[in-house]
Structure 1
Amino acid sequence: MTAMRNDEDDGEPFLIARGGPFFDAQKRIGLVAGDKLRPARRALVLIAVTWGIPLLLTLVAGTAFGELDTRPYLLDPGVWARSFLAIGMLIIAEGQIEDRLRLCVDQFFNIPVLAAGSLKSARTALSEAKRSRDSAGAEIVCLLVSIATSSLVLHNMDGQTDSSWALTIVGGSKSLSPAGWWSILVSNTMFWFLLTRAVWRHIIWGNLLARFARLDLRLVATHPDKHGGVGFVGGYPNAYVTFTVATSCVLAATIAHQVLHETFTVTSFGAVMGLWLVVVFIFFGVPLTSFAIALSELKTRTLQAASRQATEFQRSVERSTLGSNVAANGDHSRPEQEIADPTKLYEAIGKLSPLILNRSTLLPVTVVALLPLIAVGLTQLPFKDLLPIVKRLLVL
Structure 2
Amino acid sequence: MHARYLIAAPLLVLAEALCAPRLNAIVRHFADAGLVTNRDRGTYDAAVASTRAQLNSRAAEIVVIALAYLLMSAAAFSLPFDQVPVWHKTGGSAPAFSPAGWWHVLVSLPLLLTLLLGWTWRLALWAHLLWRIARLDLRLLASHPDGAAGLAVLGYSLRAFSLLAMALAAIVAGRSANIVFVDGALPRDHTIFSAGLLVVVGALFAAPLFFFTPMLMRALQRGSFEYGALATQVGAAFEEKWLGRDRPVDKSALEKPDFSATTDLYAIVANVYALRLVPIDLKSIAMLAIALLLPFVPVVFLALPMAEILAGLKGLLF
Question: Whole-Å Cα distance in 2 between the matches of residues 316 and 83 of structure 1?
Answer: 69
Question: Whole-Å Cα distance in 1 between the matches of residues 170 and 47 of structure 2?
Answer: 35
- Residue 354 of structure 1 corresponds to 277
Q: Which has the higher helix share?
A: 2
Report if the CA contact (8 A) 1:220-1:228 is conserved: yes
Report if the CA contact (8 A) 1:289-1:357 is conserved: no
CA change 1:163–1:147 in 2 (3 A) is closer
Code of the residue aligned with 1:208 in structure 2: it is L
- Residue 18 of structure 1 corresponds to none
Shifted more, 269-278 versus 99-108: the winner is 269-278
Find 2:180's aligned residue among 242, 259, 268. 259
Code of the residue aligned with 1:368 in structure 2: it is A
Question: Whole-Å Cα distance in 2 between the matches of residues 318 and 242 of structure 1?
Answer: 54
Q: How far apart are 1:346 and its partner, in Å? A: 2.6
- Residue 23 of structure 2 corresponds to 101
Counterpart of 1:378 in 2: which secondary structure?
helix
Report if the CA contact (8 A) 2:130-2:208 is conserved: yes
Q: How far apart are 1:190 and its partner, in Å? A: 1.0
The count of corresponding residues between Structure 1 and Structure 2 is 292
- Residue 214 of structure 1 corresponds to 135
Considering Cα pairs closer than 8 Å and 6+ residues apart, tell me whether 1 or 2 has the greater RCO: 2
CA change 1:351–1:182 in 2 (3 A) is same
Q: How far apart are 1:288 and its partner, in Å? A: 1.5
- Residue 226 of structure 1 corresponds to 147
Counterpart of 2:95 in 1: which secondary structure?
strand
Question: Whole-Å Cα distance in 2 between the matches of residues 116 and 168 of structure 1?
Answer: 67
Report if the CA contact (8 A) 2:152-2:280 is conserved: no
Measured against aligned partners, the alpha-carbon deviations of 1:110-141 in whole angstroms (never above 9, x if no partner) come to 12221222211110111111222133443333
1:385-396 equivalences in 2 (<5 Å) = none
Measured against aligned partners, the alpha-carbon deviations of 1:349-376 in whole angstroms (never above 9, x if no partner) come to 1111111234422212211211222312
Counterpart of 1:379 in 2: which secondary structure?
helix
Question: Whole-Å Cα distance in 1 between the matches of residues 266 and 281 of structure 2?
Answer: 27
CA change 1:318–1:248 in 2 (3 A) is closer
- Residue 87 of structure 2 corresponds to 165
Question: Whole-Å Cα distance in 1 between the matches of residues 38 and 12 of structure 2?
Answer: 37
- Residue 70 of structure 2 corresponds to 148
Question: Whole-Å Cα distance in 2 between the matches of residues 298 and 385 of structure 1?
Answer: 54
Shifted more, 137-146 versus 100-109: the winner is 137-146
Question: Whole-Å Cα distance in 2 between the matches of residues 197 and 144 of structure 1?
Answer: 12
Code of the residue aligned with 1:231 in structure 2: it is A
Report if the CA contact (8 A) 1:82-1:188 is conserved: no
Report if the CA contact (8 A) 2:154-2:280 is conserved: no
Structure 2 portions without partners, runs of 5+ = 245-260, 310-318
Q: How far apart are 1:242 and its partner, in Å? A: 2.3
Report if the CA contact (8 A) 1:113-1:219 is conserved: yes
Counterpart of 2:124 in 1: which secondary structure?
helix
- Residue 294 of structure 1 corresponds to 215
Report if the CA contact (8 A) 1:273-1:370 is conserved: no
Find 1:113's aligned residue among 24, 29, 35. 35
Code of the residue aligned with 1:146 in structure 2: it is A
- Residue 49 of structure 1 corresponds to none
TM-score scaled by structure 1? 0.66
- Residue 345 of structure 1 corresponds to 268
Question: Whole-Å Cα distance in 2 between the matches of residues 117 and 383 of structure 1?
Answer: 63
CA change 1:91–1:161 in 2 (3 A) is closer
- CA RMSD, 1 decimal: 2.9
Question: Whole-Å Cα distance in 2 between the matches of residues 318 and 224 of structure 1?
Answer: 27
Structure 1 portions without partners, runs of 5+ = 1-78, 324-339, 387-396
Question: Whole-Å Cα distance in 1 between the matches of residues 15 and 145 of structure 2?
Answer: 31
Code of the residue aligned with 1:278 in structure 2: it is V
Counterpart of 1:229 in 2: which secondary structure?
coil
Find 1:271's aligned residue among 192, 216, 224. 192
1:1-396 equivalences in 2 (<5 Å) = 79-160=1-82, 164-171=86-93, 173-265=94-186, 267-268=188-189, 270-313=191-234, 343-382=266-305
Code of the residue aligned with 2:27 in structure 1: it is V
Report if the CA contact (8 A) 2:88-2:98 is conserved: yes
Code of the residue aligned with 1:196 in structure 2: it is L
Identical positions, percent: 26
CA change 1:318–1:223 in 2 (3 A) is closer
Counterpart of 2:302 in 1: which secondary structure?
coil
Measured against aligned partners, the alpha-carbon deviations of 1:159-207 in whole angstroms (never above 9, x if no partner) come to 4357622213444x32101221111111100110111111211211122
Q: How far apart are 1:383 and its partner, in Å? A: 6.4
Q: How far apart are 1:248 and its partner, in Å? A: 1.5
Measured against aligned partners, the alpha-carbon deviations of 1:246-274 in whole angstroms (never above 9, x if no partner) come to 22221122222322322434745652442
CA change 1:210–1:384 in 2 (3 A) is farther
